Each structure stands twice: as C-alpha cells, then as structure tokens.
C-alpha cells in the first residue's frame, strides 16, 4: 500500500483498476538534408493531416453531443494555424538544412520553455497543448500511430504522466472512473475536462505513473488530493462506504436543480455560474444556475499572435446570450496582462504583471482594442440579457474613462444603425482595496458590483495565494476581509444597486451563510458548485444569518470566525462538506510512512 499526495482538481472518490497509457518519447537527431524545400513540403502535409485529425475528432464529439469538450480541441485548431509556429519551423528547415521532425521538435521545445517561464498558472498549464501539438506532428512525420489512451475495455482509473488535451477531450465517461496524473495544475486540461464531466481527478502526484502497473487497485480521493495504490482491504471498505454516501448525496443535490436559491424564511439569492469556454454553457442549465454571473473573455485572446476581431467576439458572446436568454449573462471585458500575449510583438513583458498593465488598465492603454470588444458586447446585448463588467477598477478616473469609450461606441452603433440594448447594465468588479474602501462613490456611477474575492483577499493581505510557503497567511475569513465585504454590500445597497460575488469564496459552503447574512444579492460559482451552494442557501434562515454576520464582523481572529461559522452551519450541510474534503481526511488506518520518492508531489 503506497500513498501519493497531489492537487485535487475534481471532487469525488474513484475506486478501480489502473489503466496506464504507454509513455513513448519521440526523440529525433539532427540529420542534414539536401533538399530543404522537400522537407517543408513534408511538414505542410503533416500539418494538413494534423488539422484533419483534429477536425475529425471535433465532428465525432459533436455527433456524440459532447459539447462540453469542444473548446479544448478548438483552441488546438487555432494553434495549428499559428503563423509564428509555421514560419519558425519552415525557417528552421531552411537555415539548418534539417529534417522536418527535428525542426518541429526544436520549435516546440522553444514554445514550451516560453510557456514555462510565465507566472500565470493558466498559461503555464497550456504547455500540455504545445506538447500535444508537437506529439501529433511528430507521429505523423515519423509514421507512428496516434497514442490511444482512451481505449478501455473495462471501467478503470487512468494513470498518466500527463494526459494530452486531445486525449482528455475524447475520454468516455462511462469507462473512466477517475483521472490521475504526475504533473498538471488546477487549470490544466485534465482538470477542466474532469470537472466538466464530474469525474474525480488528482494531478501533480509526482511519480504515481512509474509506481503503478496496469490492473493495480487504486483509490483516488478527489477531495483531498490523495491516491492510494493497492490499498488494504480495510481502507478499501472505508472508501467504498464514503463513495456510496457521496453518490447518494450527489443525487439529492441534483434534485434541487429546478428549485430556487431561497432561504427557509424566503430570502432569494440569484445563483449564477462562472464560465470561460463556450463549451461550458450547457452546464449552466444542467446544474440549475440562474444565468452567468461571470463570463471570462480571456480565452478569445490567448494562444494567438493577433487580437480577436469584432465579428469573432460578437459571435462568441451571442452564442451564450441567445442560449441562456432571458437569464442574465455578465460579460467581463478582458482581464489579461501584457505578459499573456505571448506572440504579440507590441506587448512588453512586465516584471510584476499582477500589479502592472492588466485588465482595465490594458484595455484603456489600447483604446482601439477596447472599442472592438465593447462594440461586440453591445451588439450581443441585442440578442439576450447581457450585462457589461469592467475588471480591476481602482479609481473613479478609470471607470469614467471606460464609460466614456463605451458611450462613444454606442454613438458609433447608432450611426451605423446596428442594434444594441441602450439600457445595458454596466458594473465593475470590486477586487482592489481602493475600490472596496470607496465603494460608496463607485456605487453612484454603476448599476452593480461583483466582488472578486480571489484578488481582493490577496491585495488586502499582501499574500500571493499560489505561494505554498505563505498559504497560512491567505485567510478569506480575516477580519479585515470581512469588514471590506460588509462595506461593499452596504455601499451598494445604500445606492440602490445590486451586489454579487464571483470569487472562490462564493463557492465555499462555510462562507455562504455569512454572505447571505450580509444581504448579498447574487453569488456566481463554477457550474459544478451550484448544487451545493443552493443546498446551503435553502438550509439556512436569513434572519439568523444576519445576526451571525453582525457578530462575526466584531470578532478579531480568523480561527474564531471560522469556528463560529462551522458551529452555525446546518447539520445536513456538514455532511456534504465532510464528503467534499473540507474537514479531516477519512481515517486511513495505520498509514505507512512513505518512502522519499513516493512522498514527492507535483506542487
């Protein structure tokens, strides 16, 4: 029995035999060629074949109704059309007189090094896209079959060093019990796919792939980020009981799909979903959300050497607006920094992009790009119930500049007689302490607030939450954070506007009663988290929650606040969060001390 610790990315418990896809390293040496143009022709033919393969997979998934997985493959389609990649390979062949496969390997290695040097976790996890692209081209050029990681004859837990995005998109959820990888993060494709399909998944397990053999029994705990290889009979029985209870409670949560997010004494909360890819739209309705509270538009701007045009953006926003109408869709203008436009020549790399030219600052520094997005959002507002939101506003001057450009865009559309909603609601994300402190002033100039707790907590406490050595300082229940939240909600309500929250705190069932007690109007969470948040809201009493919230504001220590929240949480919700791993790990009996290599993690 061996224990491995990684990063939990999709909740649930999986128990079953291991299936290991074969790990094959496609290395090539530098062989000189006499005819570079012939090698370029080979490369172009391989590129066309690769595109056709991806298109074939996309069509097959569409025929299967697997819309939730198309976004990943469509982003790969874009990468195969990346002119900088194509030109780099062809230049390498001409300059070095080398084979097409060697040139591909060199360019892919360079792209991977570039991605690995980026601070942003989401973009670092796109390394898997580049690996997958290179692997596909290399296999075609070398005449090797595509790696088949999903040909399962029986239900199994897939254990891989890393799961190629194209393979992850094709997994059969009826055969795959769980996903476990040695590498990867919370925003990797393995994580995105597993959450979309609600398959338990743990990444960053270090060396599980090397230790496991096909057919070995594996327990995968997607709540705590634990994998147990060849568990004892006693531990297996304990986890089977947990799994059975979890499935029963999951079914009870699903039964709430069509119920309102309303407290026992009738206080109604709008419970929306956060989405990023068009493929996630179906999950909004499936999980019973009241529309979209945060539509991240960054995916349109990544993995490309140009900027998306108005028509491309208009079409993407319209798909979501039409499909969810008349439910609201809050579209956030691009929240991205200069460091994230990898191939765009006019965007300088910043030393500290988190405090640099990102989000609305980037948009205001490039008014033409900003106008293109605002026009697309405005035009989409004629097709559904669209709201517009500006991220990372830190001053009234920034807000007023953004609104001025928005007004100019409306005038342009009027002149062109293009339809839009002239009464579109315009709001801001409150994620910077200056905006939280001056919330009363901002509230006079917008239609709504949406609190982004992820950044607000980091900036308030001066803590990088991705730094494991400082994790103990990242405290969502810090008294300073709670007071800022109360100030924001009160300022919004005093001005007659609604206040929502779209950060991770909104999805924490322990925090929900406090947020409800503050009188928050809307919570927006990942689609998969909607049922548990709804169950929590429906289990509490608003009047009592308001009294508890008032008490918590006056407490001085995060541990004291957290203990008070746990004590007041309804017992039926305690059962859910126990199973979701927010409390102690289920008893594992006498866990052996792992050897140094087994104890490694991918964190």
Residues assigned a catalytic role: 189, 502
Total residue length of the chain: 603
Summarize the chain as % helix, strand, coil (round to 5).
50, 15, 35
Rounded CA Rg of the chain: 25
Pick from 83, 147, 73, 135: nearest CA to 104: 135
Distance CA 453, CA 518 (A): 15
| DSSP E strand stretches across 435-517 | 448-451, 498-501
Pick from 44, 34, 186, 165: nearest CA to 96: 34
Strand order, beta sheet including 201-203: 2-5, 226-229, 217-221, 13-19, 156-160, 176-181, 201-203, 7-10
Q: Would you tell me the crossing angle of helices 189-197 and 127-142 to the nearest 10 degrees? A: 100
Check: CB of residue 92 under 8 Å from CB of residue 107: yes
Check: CB of residue 225 under 8 Å from CB of residue 202: yes
Look up residue 126 and give its two tokens. Answer: 């796109």
Residue 489: phi and psi, rounded to 5, are: -65, -45
Check: CB of residue 229 under 8 Å from CB of residue 211: yes
Look up residue 110 and give its two tokens. Answer: 């360079």
Q: Tokens 């179906």 belong to which residue?
A: 282
In this structure, the strands spanning 156-160 and 13-19 are: parallel
Look up residue 231 and give its two tokens. Answer: 């568990």
Look up residue 158 and give its two tokens. Answer: 């897939």
């Amino acid at each position: 029995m061996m224990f491995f610790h990684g990063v939990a990315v999709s909740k649930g418990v999986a128990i079953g035999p291991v299936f290991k896809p074969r790990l094959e390293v496609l290395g090539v040496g530098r062989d000189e060629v006499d005819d570079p143009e012939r090698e370029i022709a080979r490369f172009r033919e391989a590129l066309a074949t690769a595109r056709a393969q991806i298109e074939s997979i996309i069509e097959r998934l569409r025929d299967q109704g697997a819309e939730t997985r198309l976004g990943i493959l469509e982003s790969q389609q874009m990468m195969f059309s990346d002119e900088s990649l194509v030109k780099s390979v062809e230049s390498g062949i001409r300059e070095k007189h080398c084979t097409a496969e060697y040139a591909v390997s060199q360019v892919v290695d360079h792209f991977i090094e570039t991605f690995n040097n980026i601070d942003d976790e989401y973009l670092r996890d796109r390394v898997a896209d580049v690996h997958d692209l290179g692997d596909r081209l290399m296999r075609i050029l070398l005449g090797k079959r595509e790696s088949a990681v999903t040909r399962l004859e029986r239900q199994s837990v897939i254990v891989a060093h890393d799961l190629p995005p194209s393979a992850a998109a094709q997994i059969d959820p009826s055969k795959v019990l769980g996903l476990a990888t040695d590498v990867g993060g919370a925003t990797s494709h393995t994580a995105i796919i597993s959450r979309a399909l609600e398959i338990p998944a743990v990444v960053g397990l270090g060396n599980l792939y090397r230790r496991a053999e096909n057919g070995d029994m594996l327990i995968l705990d997607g709540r705590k980020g634990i994998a147990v290889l060849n568990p004892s009979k006693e531990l297996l029985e304990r986890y089977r009981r947990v799994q059975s209870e979890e499935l029963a409670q999951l079914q009870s949560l699903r039964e709430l799909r069509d119920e309102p997010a309303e407290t026992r004494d009738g206080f109604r909360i709008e419970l929306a979903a956060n989405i990023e890819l068009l493929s996630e739209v179906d999950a909004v309705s499936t999980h019973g959300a009241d529309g979209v509270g945060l539509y991240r538009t960054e995916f349109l701007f990544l993995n490309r050497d140009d900027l998306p045009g108005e028509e491309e953006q208009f079409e993407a926003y319209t798909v979501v607006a039409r499909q969810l109408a008349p439910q609201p869709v809050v579209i956030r203008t691009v929240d991205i920094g200069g460091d994230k436009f990898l191939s765009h020549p006019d965007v300088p790399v910043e030393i500290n992009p988190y405090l640099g030219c990102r989000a609305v600052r980037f948009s205001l520094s490039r008014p033409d790009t900003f106008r293109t997005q605002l026009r697309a959002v405005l035009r989409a507002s004629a097709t559904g119930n669209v709201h517009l939101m500006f991220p990372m506003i830190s001053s009234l001057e920034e807000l007023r500049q953004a609104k001025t450009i928005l007004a100019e865009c409306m005038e342009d559309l009027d002149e062109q007689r293009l339809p839009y909603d002239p009464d579109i609601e315009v709001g801001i994300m409150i994620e910077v302490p200056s905006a939280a402190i001056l919330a009363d002033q901002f509230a006079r100039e917008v239609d709504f607030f949406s609190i982004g707790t992820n950044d607000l907590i980091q900036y308030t406490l001066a803590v990088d939450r991705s730094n494991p050595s400082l994790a103990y300082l990242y405290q969502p229940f810090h008294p300073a954070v709670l007071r800022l939240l109360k100030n924001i909600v009160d300022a919004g309500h005093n001005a007659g506007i609604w206040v929502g929250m779209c950060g991770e705190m909104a999805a924490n069932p322990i925090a929900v009663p406090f947020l409800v007690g503050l009188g928050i109007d809307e919570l927006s969470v990942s689609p998969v988290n909607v049922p548990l948040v709804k169950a929590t809201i429906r289990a509490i009493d608003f009047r009592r929650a308001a009294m508890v919230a008032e008490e918590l504001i006056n407490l001085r220590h995060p541990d004291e606040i957290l203990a008070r929240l746990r004590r007041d949480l309804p017992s039926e919700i305690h059962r859910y969060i126990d199973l979701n791993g927010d409390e102690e790990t289920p008893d594992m009996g006498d866990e052996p001390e792992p050897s140094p290599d087994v104890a490694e993690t991918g964190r």
